[in-house]
Amino acid sequence: MLLLLSIAPDVLAEDAEQKRAEQLGAAISFRGGTLFFAAFVPSFIVARTSERAADEWLYAPVVGPWIDLAQRGACNARFGCDGEAAYKVLLVANGVAQGIGMLGIVSGILVAGFGTTKANVKPSCQLAPVVFGKGSMGGGFMGTF
């Protein structure tokens, strides 16, 4: 028996569109992930090596730099004031970079997910009989959206 299938051109176009969306989503996620990890690795190293209690928050991704900045306090004799303004600027830059990187990761996932929807599918809904157990009948809805 020979079975021949024909694929409509609009189905091929939808598959190409879906593939483009997935590729775009992957590229956005990759770039976002690269930015996030490029910012998070130095934070992790500082959290690991610093004696300052507020720097422990740098283990927390995205929110860590902001909490560290808020709890950092004024400079004192133990840690000194040399470079404290620069450290605060670096914390802000690190928090922004981690946030943008995480936003890129999430955006890429969403872009790839939205590409999988079929534009030409018409919504439909059907009511069908359903058996729920021995002797239990009911109805169920099925459809495409």
Asked if 38 contacts 100 with a C-beta cutoff of 8 angstroms, the reply is no
Report pLDDT digits (tens) over 3-26: 444 444 555 556 777 788 888 888
pLDDT of 141: 67
Mean pLDDT of 122-132: 73
Answer whether residue 83 shows pLDDT above 90: no
pLDDT of 21: 83
- The Cβ of residue 36 has, within 10 Å, a number of other Cβ atoms equal to 21
Report pLDDT digits (tens) over 24-61: 888 999 999 999 999 999 999 999 999 888 999 999 99
Residue in the block written with tokens 């690269």: 34
pLDDT of 7: 45
Reading the block at residue 15, the tokens are 């598959």
Report pLDDT digits (tens) over 110-119: 888 776 555 5
pLDDT of 64: 94
Return the percentage of the chain with pLDDT > 90, whole number: 41
CA nearest to 23, candidates 12, 15, 35, 11: 15
Mean pLDDT of 139-143: 70
Query: Structural domain boundaries of the chain?
Result: 11-119
Interatomic CA distance for residues 109 and 127, integer angstroms: 34
pLDDT of 133: 67
Mean pLDDT of 67-90: 82
Please, what is the end-to-end C-alpha distance for the chain in angstroms?
35
The DSSP annotation for 90-112 comes to HHHHHHHHHHHHHHHHHHHHHHH
Asked if 107 contacts 33 with a C-beta cutoff of 8 angstroms, the reply is no
Q: At a CB cut-off of 8 Å and minimum separation 6, what does 100 contact?
A: 32, 35
Buried b (16+ CB within 10 A) or exposed e, 87-96: beebbeebbe
